Amino acid sequence: MKYKAFLFDMNGTMIDDMPYHIQAWHRILNELGAGISIERMKEECYGKNDELLERIFPGRFSPEEKKKMSWEKEKQYQDSFRPHLRLLDGLAEVLAKAKKDGIKMAIGSAAIMFNIDFVVDELQIRKYFDALISADEVRISKPDPETFLVCAEKLGVAPENCLVFEDSPKGVEAAARAGMDCAVITSLHEKEDFDGISNIVRFMKDYTAFSW
């Protein structure tokens, strides 16, 4: 197989939690007067929390205020999603087989480490990963390629030998700009939302039919 590493986006790709992020942001931003619809929130749900806040309210909040709001949003998200926290179908088997086959694995997410810790520890899957790259480890998040390039560097694998798993068009774009192929999980977005992106090797709703 051409791939020596699997790089997983987390939210929407390993777990089906994007509706919970969208709901938490929708509530918080509208309390601040954003007047934003759920449909628009779905499109805006990418990148670091402070990048998202800056897009919606340019120049309105200090870095400290944005950090505080980010923590509040993640606490709300974790409380509401915790009862539903489980891996997408087939992913547990993929992680175990990849580990056995010597394929290196990393998580490359726009989430803060607080959320990555929540997922990998509650699901007891930390042992599978050689690197965890969160919002805290990069200067700019997706669609910038930095998240996936840092993952590849930490694993010591060339970009062309990495396969990225993503669920959002901005994440797939980040993989393309990093020079990596991408398998798309259609948990939140439809196939048509990815028109014009050329690094996609397959679409799948979960991992049950994924093999190598």
Ligand X SMILES: O=P(O)(O)OC[C@H]1O[C@@H](O)[C@H](O)[C@@H](O)[C@@H]1O
The residue ranges that bind ligand X (CB under 6 A) are 9-12, 21, 45-46, 49, 52, 109-111, 115, 142, 168, 171
| Closer Cβ to ligand X, 3 or 109, answer by number | 109
Angle between helices 63-81 and 113-122 (to 10 degrees): 20
| Shortest Å distance, C-beta 149 to ligand X | 15
Report residue 173 as tokens.
């774009």
| Shortest Å distance, C-beta 111 to ligand X | 4
| Shortest Å distance, C-beta 78 to ligand X | 10
| Closer Cβ to ligand X, 40 or 100, answer by number | 40
| Closer Cβ to ligand X, 10 or 155, answer by number | 10
Q: How many CB atoms within 10 Å of residue 110? A: 26
∠ CA 84-75-146 to the nearest 5 degrees? 90
Which residue bears the tokens 């979960």?
A: 206
Query: How far apart are alpha carbons 177 and 142 in whole angstroms?
Result: 10
Query: How far apart are alpha carbons 26 and 30 in whole angstroms?
Result: 6
| Closer Cβ to ligand X, 63 or 102, answer by number | 63
| Shortest Å distance, C-beta 41 to ligand X | 9
Strand residues in the chain grouped as ranges (E): 5-8, 104-108, 131-133, 162-166, 181-185, 200-204
| Shortest Å distance, C-beta 4 to ligand X | 22
| Closer Cβ to ligand X, 2 or 205, answer by number | 205
In degrees and rounded to multiples of 5, residue 88 shows phi and psi of -60, 150
